[in-house]
Amino acid sequence: MSACKSVPLIRPVKAPEPQFVVVQEGIDFLRGLEGPLYVVSVVGAMRQGKSFILGLLAGGPGIFRLGHQTRSCTEGVDVFARPHPSGRGRLVFLDVEGQGSTDRNDTYDAALTTVAMLLSSMVVYNCLSARCLNDFLAHAAAEAHRDNEEVARSFCRDLLHALYAPVESSVEGKRYICGGGYSQYMQDAEGVQHEYAECCQDTLVPEHVATEIGEEFWRSTENIRKILRDSDKQLSEAEKEKAKQEEQLVQLELRRKQEWEENKAQLQRQEAENQERMRTWEQAMGSMRDQMRVQQEDMQRASEQREAQLAEFIQQGQVEAREQMQDIMRMASEQSMAQQEHMSSLLTSMQDSQRTQQESMNGVMISLRDLANRPPPKIEVQRSCAVQ
């Protein structure tokens, strides 16, 4: 390769698509230069003498290709270098494909010009009139604005997807499929919207772009909101029915517990009454035993007195009086035996009644102990599973 010829640096992959590739020959050429590098590019419409001007700046004609056809002679970007006049570093010249070629479009021209501007320390715009320059600047500004908006849209979409990721994970995990799940989802979604608006404001994203992407994203989640809203409605009705059943079970449990308390109190009252009745019976039986003991003592003393009188009568020889006394003693003995039989019968009756009362009291005590040892009835309320 001649040292006085330019080298291809950038070539289109598939014109007029704005896709480019860096040529290895141009890379090797730049790597062989000693720095620092001062890069000058010339851009402008085709057939306006850009390559000719670069040739003069680079040191002579013939360095960059020249043509006279209706299409641009240069394809992509060509590069050439010469020593800097100060003796330090190199001047690098970029010859950029001309704008307005019949087989190119505005997007291609703007993309290639942007690449050249980013690579250059200085850009020379070659034009034959001020109107041409104004048209170029206006076109470049419009393309830059459009590119900025596309970048902003892409940023907003990525930002929304990142902020919505936890909510989306909860949706996939069916954590919103429960009573009140729709309200919780809307609350989380509103939090995402608020954070999205703050991030867009902090990063100076154009308001209309942020609004447009936000509305587009929320429209895409309408189906999810509808599914959660319908599911929440069904679950709410099911939970209302479940709550009604649980309330009925609680009321039933309260009634059974109240009945248990009443039965326990009634048994305790019966126990107290039986104990009081037993004390009364014991007191009555004690009093009767005391009376029987007194009567027996009285009868014993009367018998002893009669026997003494009888002995006295016998000694005195009063036969008639003795017979009369014997009749009196026989009658007293019969009366005493009758009283003893009556008292014995009454005592037996009281003992039988006491035994019956004791058995009844023992039954009440057993029931009361069983009731005291047994806990109050409790109804377990089983939680039903969420509706799938």
- State whether residue 379 is helix, strand or coil: coil
Shared domain for 215 and 249, answered yes or no, is no
Shared domain for 271 and 194, answered yes or no, is no
Q: Is 385 part of any domain?
A: no
Q: What is the mean pLDDT of the chain?
A: 76
Shared domain for 155 and 46, answered yes or no, is no
- DSSP secondary structure letters along 177-217: -STTHHHHHHHHHHHHHHHHHHHHHHTT--HHHHHHHHHHH
Shared domain for 117 and 67, answered yes or no, is yes
Q: Is 286 part of any domain?
A: yes
Shared domain for 43 and 98, answered yes or no, is yes
Q: Is 378 part of any domain?
A: no
Shared domain for 250 and 365, answered yes or no, is yes
Rounded Cα distance between 160 and 333, Å, is: 122
Domain that holds residue 66: 7-128
Shared domain for 247 and 359, answered yes or no, is yes
Q: What is the pLDDT of residues 312-336, one digit of tens each?
A: 766 665 666 667 767 777 787 777 7
φ, ψ for residue 147 (rounded to 5)? -65, -40
Q: Given the structure tokens 């009093």, which residue do they identify?
A: 287
Q: Which of 188-192, 297-301, 357-361 has the lowest mean pLDDT?
A: 357-361
**CATH label of the domain that carries residue 26:** 3.40.50.300
Shared domain for 302 and 335, answered yes or no, is yes
Cβ atoms of 13 and 21 within 8 Å: the answer is yes
Instruction: Provide the pLDDT for residue 59.
Output: 65
> Is residue 388 over pLDDT 50?
no
> Is residue 202 over pLDDT 60?
yes
Rounded Cα distance between 296 and 301, Å, is: 9
Of 220, 251, 271, which one is at a domain's C-terminal end? 220
Greater confidence, 42 or 61? 42
pTM score of the predicted model: 0.35
The total domain count for the chain is 3
Instruction: Provide the pLDDT for residue 1.
Output: 38
Instruction: Provide the pLDDT for residue 2.
Output: 42
- What letter does residue 386 receive in the DSSP assignment? P
**CATH label of the domain that carries residue 292:** 1.10.287
